Chain A
């Protein structure tokens, strides 16, 4: 089984709809992240969480919100989706106790299309 899972893997929605992307991990990591990837660009950080009670905005948080329901679960919400939020979304995890390397491991991604 995959260590980091994302649901759904693909989603098509309409402008104005609320949508939630979910991420679960079995790696036992304390840190979780949400990234967005647009064509021709690298990944950009939306939100990150160092533990259940610590959530922080990334570089492109406008239009998004997150919830850390448990150490293993981190969800991303688009309250009112718009077409320029069409992108590939990745969840990632890392372990703060890894001697400082803090390597991030990624889920398989969710392809979101907003019509």
Chain B
């Protein structure tokens, strides 16, 4: 069985600053994929970024980047130049590919302040 742990229930960051959200996971599979999803107050689940475990290079999408440490089973999300619209719940998720099922962490609530 796989697990995903997000140890920061809530975080706050000032606009234009940088924030890092933590995620650790556990799986016995060698082929898997990791995702960060954002859930704003509208409750829509929005894909932020994804990382293939076999790729050594960390994924980036505009202001969003990850720090993927495979040996440590760590997958943190860095948000640069934070904007008010980044205020949301952020969920880390693991897909082990063969079963194609997402396992989610419990989320981190991020508040961006002026």
- Size of A's binding interface in residues, CB under 8 A: 27
Name which of B52, B91, B102 has the most chain A CB atoms within 10 A of its CB: B102
Binds A, one of B40-48, B61-69, B77-85: B40-48
Are B50 and A109 neighbours in the complex by a CB distance under 8 Å? Answer: no
Q: Given contacts A101-B52, A102-B97, are A43 and B102 in contact (CB under 8 A)?
A: yes
Name the residue of chain A whose CB is nearest to the CB of B37. Answer: A106
Name the residue of chain A whose CB is nearest to the CB of B42. Answer: A108
Residues of A near B102 (CB, < 8 A) are: 33, 35, 43, 45, 92, 104
Q: Which of A23-55 contact B (CB under 8 A)?
A: 31, 33, 35, 40-45, 48, 50
Q: How large is the interface on B (under 10, 10 to 19, 20 to 34, 35 or more residues)?
A: 20 to 34
Residues of B near A50 (CB, < 8 A) are: 100
Name which of A35, A92, A101 has the most chain B CB atoms within 10 A of its CB: A101
A96 to B33, CA, bound (A): 14
Name the residue of chain B whose CB is nearest to the CB of A101. Answer: B33
Residues of A near B44 (CB, < 8 A) are: 106, 108-109
Are A94 and B104 neighbours in the complex by a CB distance under 8 Å? Answer: no
Name which of A48, A50, A102 has the most chain B CB atoms within 10 A of its CB: A102
Residues of B near A16 (CB, < 8 A) are: none
A58 to B104, CA, bound (A): 13
Question: CB within 8 Å of A: which residues of B?
Answer: 4, 31, 33, 35, 37, 42-47, 50, 52, 91, 93, 95, 97, 100-102, 104-107
For the complex of A and B, the 3 pairs showing the least CB-CB separation, nearest first, are A42-B104, A106-B45, A43-B104
Q: Offer 6 A-B interface pairs, CB within 8 angstroms, sorted by A.
A: A33-B102, A40-B106, A43-B91, A43-B102, A43-B104, A103-B50
